């Protein structure tokens, strides 16, 4: 994930952020420096890149612990960051401690498997059903996953997969007892 630190400023500038923890120590790229000095200023900058020529600048929040942080945004005047660079803004960041939380969510969402009940060759029960759009050949592949029903009479119910097999080209699921059997074309997701 990137772009957690943001600033708006006229296009074409070179901007950077300086991150401070609650004690006032400054992030130096690997840890917080409790005694910042002008000579180390170039280690404190977090580059903010402009999105095209939009005037929107973004930088990546370092992998730091959750908490409240102060961020000053600076306009670089010379060839490298300096203590004399003007501050153009300050922000307070309440950080969750997960720099890649959106990335983690996207990756986990990529593991969600959609399915549709098929009654062509099997009559569903409150503990078994088949899906013609899930054709994983590995027996027990989906065991211990959860089935979340998204349509039909079971919509909103969640049950656990206790057994899985491929039967005549359709995924057959055995699950913990549901309130009723699903109907043909009811949809679900495996999480």
SS3 assignment, position 137: coil
Which residues 6+ apart lie within 8 Å of 132 measured at CB?
116, 118, 120, 169, 170, 171
Per-residue model confidence (pLDDT) at position 106: 58
What are the CA-CA distances from residue 138 to residues 68, 94, 146, 166 (Å)?
A: 47, 44, 17, 8
CB 20 within 8 A of CB 91: no
What are the CA-CA distances from residue 50 to residues 1, 59, 87, 137 (Å)?
A: 16, 9, 17, 48
Per-residue model confidence (pLDDT) at position 133: 95
What's the CA gap between 44 and 25, in Å, rounded?
A: 10
Per-residue model confidence (pLDDT) at position 102: 56
Instruction: Go through the chain and tell me how many residues it has.
Output: 191
> Residue holding tokens 């370092």?
62
Q: pLDDT tens, position by position, for the chain (191 residues)? A: 578 888 889 999 999 999 999 899 999 999 999 999 999 999 999 999 999 988 899 999 998 988 889 999 999 999 999 999 999 888 888 887 765 555 555 556 667 899 999 999 999 999 999 999 999 999 989 999 999 999 999 998 999 999 999 999 999 999 999 999 999 999 999 98
What's the CA gap between 70 and 73, in Å, rounded?
A: 10
What's the CA gap between 122 and 172, in Å, rounded?
A: 9
For residue 74, give the nearest of 94, 62, 91, 60 by alpha carbon: 91
Per-residue model confidence (pLDDT) at position 93: 85
Per-residue model confidence (pLDDT) at position 95: 84
Per-residue model confidence (pLDDT) at position 103: 54
CB 166 within 8 A of CB 137: yes
Give residue limits of the domains in the chain.
5-103, 112-190
Per-residue model confidence (pLDDT) at position 109: 66
Per-residue model confidence (pLDDT) at position 91: 85
Give the CATH fold of the 5-103 domain.
Answer: Immunoglobulin-like (2.60.40)
Per-residue model confidence (pLDDT) at position 108: 64
Please tell me if the domain spanning 5-103 has the same topology as the one spanning 112-190. Answer: no
Per-residue model confidence (pLDDT) at position 107: 59
Give the CATH fold of the 112-190 domain.
Answer: Thrombin, subunit H (2.40.10)
Strands (E), the chain: 5-8, 15-20, 26-27, 32-33, 46-50, 56-59, 67-75, 87-95, 113-116, 128-131, 146-149, 158-167, 170-175, 187-190
């Amino acid at each position: 994930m990137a772009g957690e630190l943001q600033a708006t400023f006229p296009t074409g500038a070179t901007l950077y952020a300086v991150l401070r923890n609650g004690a006032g120590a400054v992030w130096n790229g690997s840890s917080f420096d409790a005694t910042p000095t002008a000579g180390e200023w170039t280690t404190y900058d977090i580059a903010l890149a402009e999105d095209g020529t939009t005037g929107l600048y973004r930088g990546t929040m370092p992998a730091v612990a959750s908490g409240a942080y102060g961020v000053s945004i600076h306009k670089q005047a010379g060839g490298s960051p300096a203590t004399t660079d003007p501050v153009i803004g300050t922000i307070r960041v309440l950080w969750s401690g997960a720099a890649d939380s959106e990335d983690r969510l996207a990756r986990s969402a990529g593991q969600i498997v959609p399915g549709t009940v098929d009654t062509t060759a099997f009559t569903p029960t409150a503990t078994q059903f088949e899906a013609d759009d899930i054709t994983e050949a590995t027996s027990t592949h989906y065991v211990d996953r959860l089935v979340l029903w998204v349509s039909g009479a079971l919509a909103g119910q969640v049950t656990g997969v206790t057994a899985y097999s491929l039967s005549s080209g359709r995924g057959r699921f055995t699950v913990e007892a549901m309130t009723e059997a699903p109907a043909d074309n009811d949809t679900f997701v495996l999480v």
